[in-house]
Structure 1
Amino acid sequence: MKRVIANGRVLDGSKLVQRDILIEDGLIKAIEPDIKIDDVNEVIDAKNHFVSAGLVDVHVHYRQPGQEDKETIKTGSQAAAHGGFTTVCAMPNLTPAPDSPKHLEDIMALNRKDGVVHIKQYAAITTNREDDELVDFSALKQDGAFAFSNDGNGIQKSSTMYEAMQQAAELDMAIVEHVQDDKLSYGGVLNDGAAKRLHVKAMPWVSETAQAARDVVLAQATGVHYHICHASSKHTVALIREAKRAGINVTAEVTPHHLLLSDEDIKEDNSYYKMNPPLRGEDDRQALIEGLLDGTIDMIATDHAPHTKADKDKSIATAAFGITGSETAFSTLYTAFVKTGRFTLEQLINWMAKKPASVFKMKATGNLEIGKPADIAVFDLDEPHVIKESEYLSKGKNSPFTGATVFGDTVMTLVDGTVVYKK
């Protein structure tokens, strides 16, 4: 099977240039100004559209098995494709959790059966992501675990994290963690400012940064690759910056919502603005942006967290934490930052494709290169588009960005040369 994506615009360094892309047997065979198309099976006309390497998201929640009313592997991966993502990494807060070879194998089989994009699967750090009984790291690596995480729960006991890091380091595997000291969270739901306005409990920034500081010290002691999920505070950014200067093997991600919103945007009791960690102050948001620009923060990851209407149709004090992100990430970020000149398109693709692939050693993805799988996203950078709930492919509709007018809508997504989303 041969197909050509014709007349598209691709990044050549920082410039957009017109190129045709030849795909054969699922691989990129040529990227040239003008490819003869006489003997191909299909021509995809991408005239005036931006053709990119498929995006890579190292932080999604697909809920299956255990909470299929929120999301399934099929709907979650369809949502990823709708957003231009071709590789995603699924978190382990599932029932049962991928805490044993049998559980991991079962979940990975579902990922292969129902996923329309490449799905890499995290394994848990502790049994059922609870308490302090460590999993069999070696067996889970052998069975194909992507990395280890208890995401959704910070590991509270220092000795548990220390021993987990020691084992992961021996196997050259990453520890990827939701950093939260529960005793410093005080059952809070919002950042201090918004919490005061809405008369709910606050979740102080120290709950994140204190545990991140502990883990950075343990990462230094063990040499493990330690990755911080969804950094939200300027204090955490400063900590990561100093850790990198000290040569500690620490990487970090930031979500689109923490880049785009602050707690000042929470004007009323609206649970679509409730996530964990919460939206912080405007000074924190600016620190996250600067952290991306200076390399302190390595990548953008969505923390796509779908919930049912019932989960979210409550007061912000009692509703579930989390918002969806797969379908809105690129367009909202492109509109807010590239269109305004704060970021370049090259930088955005680096943070959403190249860097996550390189940091986590995913050699087959992240770049448009001859010989690599044809994992490709096509975006319309020129025409405005209104984000509509009716267009979401995720089961979760819990996004504060619904109704926004954006640029960078996804036109088409291909995985291994096969079209998995088309507008």
Structure 2
Amino acid sequence: MNDTLLLDPIRILQGPDRPVRDGAVLLESGVLQGFDQAARERAIQLGVTATEASGQLIAPCLVDPHSVLESPFSGRSETLDSLRRCAAAAGYGQVALLPRSPTWRDSPERLIGFRDHDPREVTIHLWGGFSRGGAGTELASHGDLLDLGAIGLADDDALIPLTLLERGLLLGEMGSAPVLVAPRDPALQGDGMVREGVETLRAGWAPDPETSETLPLRQLLALHQRHPERQLRLMNVSTAAAVESLRADALPPLTSVCWWHLLADRGDLPGGDASWRVHPSLGGAADREALQQALREQLIRAVSVHAVPMDAEDMLLPPDQRPPGLSGHHLVLPALWDALVRNGDFSLEQLWQGLSFGPSALIDQPPEALAVGSRRWLLFDPEQTWQVRQDDAAAPMAANLALLNREMRGRVTACGLSR
């Protein structure tokens, strides 16, 4: 963004615990240069006329606490450069990547190439591998990974074996760094693709029992109580029963939910829709509503994108043979704004708590905020309409887009970070 703009009036959300307000902002070549009267006076000096933007919002960048990028430098479905481009176009200022890779990011040398950071670009964080190769049999070098810049420790989207997890927590090389674990037991899930229910049987999908999430979740909550000195985090809870377990816990760990589970359920997707195939499995309407309520209450603190890029060949496979996952950072804010703010009872501030401030806490980073001299802002127009297309400039390289060919209302129109 190379223009100089005075947006006046415009809605402004400056940071956490700050209510949205009406005001003015001055942007010069992507840098936020002033608010309100200071912005107006500077615009007069520059000879810049105000642009009316009363229906739009300028707000802090969003934060994705966990996604997957297996081949960051030579991938066919996504690379580090393409991820940064589409994340910036979506208003994301930070993306944290799980260790999953053909060369699993479980040792210091495998973090090389991610460390250089241009402040004009999206910040990429790395979760270091909790176990070697993600195999769950041997601990990785936790201290070395954290010394080389890993923000915390994780493996993949399933439960780390509890004996190994507890051994790592007892050894405590991670200190106060977060440890991210998914409450999903693949052995209990079996071949299940969708949570058990009438709609699952009607659609002909193999059912995934609720216990594949609730049993490992209870084990993790007990582990969290035994090790309060560690920063255990829970990844992508997906059921109403899991929400109730969190609510019953006196001090539940910081928890994320995937954006897709806040929007979709097993009763509202066509039988052939690619968006059925995700981990954790989609549940019913009651699960979706419970997750929304938990996010509103901040029982669940963070919304993840949890993008898992796939190429066109992957998408030719039948759903039950295709790897699970969706992509599309640029879809998250418009879709959740429409569902939770425009057609729900979320406030704008509550939505940003889930999409920006809460995810920052989950990855143990300072919250995003608007500041003079910073590029870390996004401009959102809730009324702009557009169609989800694979050839959109904001779309990822990945072929597994959610909501493909759907008409959307609301879009990030600019961001101070490079695209």
TM over 0.5: yes
**Structure 2 counterpart of 1:258:** 261
Inter-partner Cα distance in structure 1 for 2:377 and 2:117: 19
What displacement does 1:143 show? 0.6
**Structure 2 counterpart of 1:375:** 376
Q: Which one of the candidate residues 43, 60, 69 is aligned to 1:37?
A: 43
| 3-state SS in 2 of match to 1:263 | coil
**Structure 2 counterpart of 1:360:** 363
What amino acid sits opposite 1:119 in the alignment? Answer: I
Identity %: 19
Q: After superposition, where does 1:130-279 map in structure 2 within 5 Å?
A: 130-155=135-160, 157-168=161-172, 171-193=175-197, 194-223=199-228, 224-243=230-249, 246-248=250-252, 250-279=253-282
What displacement does 1:199 show? 2.9
Q: Per-residue CA shift, 1:245-292, capped at 9, x if unaligned?
A: x225x0111122101110112331333321011110111111101111
More deviation, 163-172/268-277: 163-172
More deviation, 136-145/158-167: 158-167
Please tell me whether the aligned partners of residues 157 and 184 of structure 2 are also in contact (alpha carbons under 8 angstroms). Answer: no
Please tell me whether the aligned partners of residues 179 and 233 of structure 2 are also in contact (alpha carbons under 8 angstroms). Answer: yes
Inter-partner Cα distance in structure 1 for 2:221 and 2:50: 48
| 3-state SS in 1 of match to 2:112 | helix
| 3-state SS in 1 of match to 2:357 | helix
| 3-state SS in 2 of match to 1:328 | helix
Cα distance change, pair 206–42 in 1 and its aligned pair in 2 (3 A): farther
Cα distance change, pair 304–35 in 1 and its aligned pair in 2 (3 A): farther
What amino acid sits opposite 2:351 in the alignment? Answer: L
Inter-partner Cα distance in structure 1 for 2:122 and 2:26: 20
Inter-partner Cα distance in structure 1 for 2:190 and 2:333: 34
What amino acid sits opposite 1:103 in the alignment? Answer: R
Please tell me whether the aligned partners of residues 132 and 160 of structure 1 are also in contact (alpha carbons under 8 angstroms). Answer: yes
Q: Report how many aligned residue pairs link the two structures.
A: 408
**Structure 2 counterpart of 1:402:** 404
Point out where structure 1 has 5 or more consecutive residues left out of the alignment: none
The two structures have a TM-score, normalised by structure 1, of: 0.88
Provide the aligned C-alpha RMSD in A.
2.8
**Structure 2 counterpart of 1:293:** 296
Inter-partner Cα distance in structure 2 for 1:369 and 1:52: 10
More deviation, 55-64/161-170: 161-170
The two structures have a TM-score, normalised by structure 2, of: 0.89
Inter-partner Cα distance in structure 1 for 2:67 and 2:246: 23
Corresponding position: 1:123 with 2:124: no
What amino acid sits opposite 1:376 in the alignment? Answer: W
| 3-state SS in 1 of match to 2:317 | coil
Inter-partner Cα distance in structure 2 for 1:168 and 1:388: 46
Inter-partner Cα distance in structure 2 for 1:131 and 1:338: 41
Cα distance change, pair 19–154 in 1 and its aligned pair in 2 (3 A): same
**Structure 2 counterpart of 1:61:** 68
**Structure 1 counterpart of 2:79:** 72
Please tell me whether the aligned partners of residues 124 and 149 of structure 1 are also in contact (alpha carbons under 8 angstroms). Answer: yes
Corresponding position: 1:347 with 2:350: yes
What displacement does 1:54 show? 0.8
